[in-house]
Structure 1
């Protein structure tokens, strides 16, 4: 009798386990929303396998959270496809979404839909290498959990919203390779969050850098290939932890003679500006992987030592009167 009871209990346990495993964990509202997104994007190849009969938490490009949030969809990543569409407004109907990625979709056009402001848990917004147009949405400042914004390699235009500085958790802002105009917002000198990286290169930004930007200790800053002018020396500082500084191909004008650079800097590109003065001896202390001070108005002896002689003459060409290795000896 005891053996039969044990067998029945095992069968019951197996039945319960099978039922549990076969249960569709995906929330029905999320599944319906994802199917609307699939239809709106004309059934792109990367997500054509989405089958309404399957648990959407198992679908390609989709991830769900744990039981504490009832397995709601937390990540949508549609990348590397030739889909011809716009970002469906329905993305705003995935209320627990933390990661929204539309990457390398060259035929993804139109503006960033305002409905994404409904995504109150969104942490990671990656919409790069597409063909998006229109402005950088001012409404992004409403998404208080945003940590990462990457809108690079699009055709976004207009000015950069100063309200982005209000995001309390923002660490990474990448707006390079667009058609942005105007100046760097004054408010960027007082980010609420601790910004690790600021990439604004290859735009049409103009004017001077806010002096308050010098108050920040940004690890990676790239303002290259714009029309920025004036003094940028406030971005440097021996006590900072900066690693990457690229100010190349702008119209900056300041004397670098007394500019001290953080010892952590390993990428320093200042080429094609109107900088004056001489290269500081302190720069011989840097462990440089990339270095370029060509096409400026620098003068004097290139300090000997450190990594400054590891770079060839190309890194120093077309200055007013720089001399010594790797250029010609000083007279």
Structure 2
């Protein structure tokens, strides 16, 4: 029988340093109203000094494993754009912090699409029979790569982590994850990027230009392409699974910008009331945003077994991807 992937547990974690818009407005040319009007964000969380991406990831992972009732998993897949170090990967560090000795662990880098890519990778491990359980984590300390003087990016992003435990199964039913639709377009790499620090810049023989060590984004073009690619990808995966837009109970897409969420729902024909949106409270947490939004909705008791979730994301690369999830009968915390 064909092996499938099922959601067995979920968890998330936010650092304790809450940063309201007013705190950012006090040190840059912006205001609370300007930020809320353009992004829908009221606050975000930044990791405290000394706190790393692996710290956030390990906490979210531990909560997901507790939710699944597991002390061990077969593999760890971490989606992040802000690893603890350029080398080695951060996932083995997370596995070590969770006490998972000898567990295979590796990173996936697809920026804001990272968690969807990591889910697809985990489903592949399960389908091939490599392991029976996978801990999939999205974790970011985006505050470490933001230019504090750039209001176009510094007001949008926050830190956090979200995680899911997937287990193997042989039926569709509640808890089933997939199929997937994934894509990329490397010609758009300059739209969402950190230019300095990689082999390209180092091998150029030139010192980084001022600001190149920070994250940058062409906001207007990213908005247009995000809606376009997420809509196409979402429609493709709905076609694969045989759902119509009206069959979707919850749209759980990457929390990039509130206007993007609303626009995407409108394009897909999904009522705004079915959109999961936590960006006002946590900002854009990149690869962590989808599991974080889903876990917070779960903690609030918004799901029932059998609910149909459509997940979609767009990020640097350019990358995009979508999948579906039928909510399982998880024991509520």
TM-score, with length taken from structure 2: 0.20
TM-score, with length taken from structure 1: 0.21
